[in-house]
Structure 1
Amino acid sequence: MLHNVYFWLKSDLNPEQRNTFEGELIKLKEIPYLVHGFIGKPAKTEERPVTDHSFNYSLTLHFKNMEDHDHYQKDCEHHLRFINTCKSFWDRVVVYDSSPVH
């Protein structure tokens, strides 16, 4: 199960706030029960109608199963701390969760 999150940060954040956001984001990808975690910024790919470069950060977390994802959402201290610490830093968040087809 993949949990993909895209963040649009407030434009008036100071460097300390941006560093706090990035530091807390990095801690999320280090959760021990993840298969894999990835943090990114928009790639410098060609502008195309189907490509969205407007976000500031992305987070992809690969969970072994739905139970691990649900635990992350409801009970994971790292996730809850991230939200409480950083929710004032973003204007918009979009989540795309996906499960394997086969």
Structure 2
Amino acid sequence: MPKGYWVSVYRTIADPEKLAAYNRLAAPAVRAAGGRTLVRGGRVVAHGAGIAERTVLVEFDSFEQAVAAYESTAYKEALAALSDGVERDFRIVEGID
């Protein structure tokens, strides 16, 4: 079964305090849903139209698990804390076998 991934690239961080509040809530929500954070920040080299900003990659055992984690009550609370604190490109993608 292909794994599922959250891929999030932050275009701008307007409110670091909201991002910090989101991180405090999102990390345990992701872990509780079976997610494993593989990349969180760190160095980025962007090419083409890429943006060299904060990037986060979270792995789940399946695409369905990744979608369910995003739709969970705990993660919705994290999103509410984040509010308009950032502008990001967030995707849930299916891996390959």
Give me the TM-score of the superposition, normalised by structure 1.
Answer: 0.65
**4+ runs deviating over 6 angstroms:** none
Closer, same or farther in 2 for the Cα pair 1:68/1:85, shift >3 Å? Answer: same
Alignment-derived partner of residue 9 in structure 1: 13
User: Helix, strand or coil for the counterpart of 1:30?
Assistant: helix
Alignment-derived partner of residue 66 in structure 1: 63
Aligned-residue offset at 1:64: 1.1
Give me the TM-score of the superposition, normalised by structure 2.
Answer: 0.67
Percent of paired sites with the same residue: 4
Instruction: Supply the distance in 1 between the matched residues of 2:90 and 2:6 (Cα, whole angstroms).
Output: 7
Q: Does the aligned pair in 2 maintain the 1:4–1:58 contact within 8 Å?
A: yes
Q: Does the aligned pair in 1 maintain the 2:33–2:65 contact within 8 Å?
A: no
Compute the RMSD of aligned alpha carbons. 2.7
Gaps of 5+ in 1: none
Alignment-derived partner of residue 26 in structure 1: 27
Closer, same or farther in 2 for the Cα pair 1:25/1:73, shift >3 Å? Answer: closer
User: Helix, strand or coil for the counterpart of 2:51?
Assistant: coil
Gaps of 5+ in 2: none
Alignment-derived partner of residue 78 in structure 1: 74
